[in-house]
Structure 1
Amino acid sequence: MKRIKNVFTLLKAELRREGVLKNSFFVSVSKAFSSIMNLAFMIYSVNLISKTENGKFQFYLSLLPVVLAIAEFGLPNALIKYISPLADKGEDPGAILRASLRIKFYSFLALAILALISFALTLENYLVLVVLLFGGIIVSFISYFESLFISYRKYIALSLWNPLPNILRLTILYFIAETSIHPLTYLDILTIFAISPIFILFLFFFFFGGKEITWSAPAKEVRESEKKLILFNLWAFTASIFAILSDRLEVFFLNQYHSPEAVADYGTALQLFSGFVIILATFNSIIYPKLSRLADSDEFPVFLKKAVMLGALIALCLLPGILLAEPILNLLFGAKYSNSISVFKILYPNFLLQLVFAPLGTALFALGQPRMLAGLALLRLLFGAMFDYLIIPDNGANGAAISMFLGQIVSWLILVGYFMAFFRK
């Protein structure tokens, strides 16, 4: 017990020395509020539509992160990696920013081609494809601008920026639900969620002064930066696609083998973990710039160990939350989603462990190892697909939750083994 107390004391001192406690407080409060707004949007949406409609909504909503990954092409992490050192030195990142905008244009063209191919081969509703296409591009700029706030350690501005998209989504949904003479459908809610953030993108330029960064540079520097970003992002993008596909694979298998109601049970339980996603994002936004700056120093393994301990400490503090599954779901949805209670309880340990192992994945980005991340994500995808095929057909939504948990274990073990060997060097 005394040893644990000493470790906690050292960790607390380190966090104070780096200013992490102050920064993380503002960002955490902001992310928490954003998470509450997102959860309120999802709860309100689920109660506006039938369970069958919700199953369709959850299915198409699970496709949006795939589209978003293509639209981002790994840029947020790459921008933090390359711009953070420039920001510390007061150097102009214009070449990297200009190159990143070119890459985002290429991503849009790729998504447009994929949308046309999907429409031709699947005869999918073209309105859904249009919403996913433009929604992915719009939402990708939210994370793009967020990476600039993080790179320049503008955590107060980031705290103000974070909740804006979800506040706007909820406001528009409430207004339309109250004024529409027709019942809302899954497509209406999907459109509001994906497209409405376009109205707040311009606010970035109020938070970020024009004199701090420029968006232009000599053509030669832009081309060099473009090549550097593409080479780094290619593996980061591959890792992101594999990771997102593996995270959404259960929804696809459920949609294949079970009714939309089963998809709704799983997707509704999954939405309640948006708070964990916010905590992970906050955690990474605090430690990633520091890891990037320490990548070539002897302090790197020390700081990484402390980050892992902090993740474990947060997970321990959140452990009692599993007891709240039944009262929360019954309060929010009544008996309509009683099947989601067991799904929530199975998923809860998985998300706690993600907090523990998250710094190791972030450290691979800081070390410039996106290729290894892609390999780990591919392993997750393959093992996840195997478990999904074996478990989901007979076990439905509960089987999907079990498969998601089991599919990540191998990649976690490899991560731990890699950094144990890394620290012994």
Structure 2
Amino acid sequence: MSQLPEISRPSGPSTPSESESVTHPKEARRVAMACAVGTTIEFYDFGLYGLLSGTVFGPLFFPSGNAIASQLGALATFAVGFVARPVGGVVAGHFGDRFGRKRTLVVTFVVMGTATTLMGVLPTTDRIGVLAPIALVLLRLIQGMAAGAEWGGALLMAVEHAPSHKRGLYGSAPVLGTLMGAVLGQSVVLACFEISPSGFTSWGWRAAFGASLVLVVVGVVIRTRLAESPLFEAAVRRDPPRVPLAALLRDHTSAVGRGIALFSAPAVLAYMMTTYALSYGTTELHYDLDTLLIAFLSITPVSLAGLYAASVLGDRWGRRRTVIVAGCLQIVVALSFFPLFEDGSVALVVLALGLASVANFTLAGPAATVLAEQFPAQVRYTGVGLSYGIAYVIGGLGPVAATSLYAATGTTTWTGAAMAVLAALAIAAMLLTPRTAPATTALQETP
């Protein structure tokens, strides 16, 4: 099987059968950039609902006399998209492992764009009654399946094209895409809100969803121009698995478990500092929506710096050590996030969000490549999609769980403690990941 062993440091060339020259360095960079751009567009679509769940979708689609009940309805629908993620990962993994990564990714774009555009024209509950939230849930399910299919495929395209000594950096491309998708979504929502604060809940939010149609066309054009993964061409086409999921569950269940534990911590933290922070901050702490959005946007430079530094450090210092240090940082941030966020000072809100974002991306960046390295090429798409998808089910349920805990206890202390436990589990997963010999190439054949 074609395996991707962890890189600790670059080495000299090896046999021609293992050559990393299957992709020219310039082409590998282009693929990584295209994966980042594509994932940005895809997660702009997926993230819009999270941004607007508490402020727009709750009142319009789940009207209630109780603000927390309305908020829970919107956040539960938000979580539905995450429940569909592993399903999308497995379905896309089946086709991606059998017939190619590239074609599968093009399909995910069309599916995501269609669902997001339809959300933007969906009538609200006061017009069509109970059909409105039902339709919203169905569209969110479709979004979730597309998101589960997208991320793993983009990761594999970037990693499988990458030279061995830059696999961590290039493998961070889809993580960068999720960050920039969130930034793009926040920017568009803020612009729509500033243009007409009074009209935002009637038409402004719909404009943000309508922009998806243009972005998806751009994404499809980008994806269709990419070359197929060389690892798929070399290894999978000559020995395609009949049922990748069956082979994965038979031979690689421990790797799936480690992948889930590794990504649950950044998944939960990501949606605590975005979806839940927006909802909790505006409804319970009475922060202005535009203030929080500006705070989110202001931390983008430190988020980018943390992601880049951790990804490069993983290639040079080793991903195991980098992930463990990042996990320790995330424990500290988990316990301090809400005390800072709840202080009432805008400066401390920005500090809380900045620390959380750095902790999140310094862990997720190198962990993405670690996840891809766990599986052989024949089941890699399925393995990554299933592990990542289940981890983000946990992440998507985070805001719902946090809202319920707050309603029951009146404090966010237990939510912070739970996030710290998940970070500790990520460290444990990394410690349990088998060490592999330093790779000399992007491809290594193992029995």
TM-score calculated relative to the size of structure 1: 0.47
Higher helix share: 1
> Relative contact order, CA 8 A, sep 6+: which one is greater?
2
TM-score calculated relative to the size of structure 2: 0.45
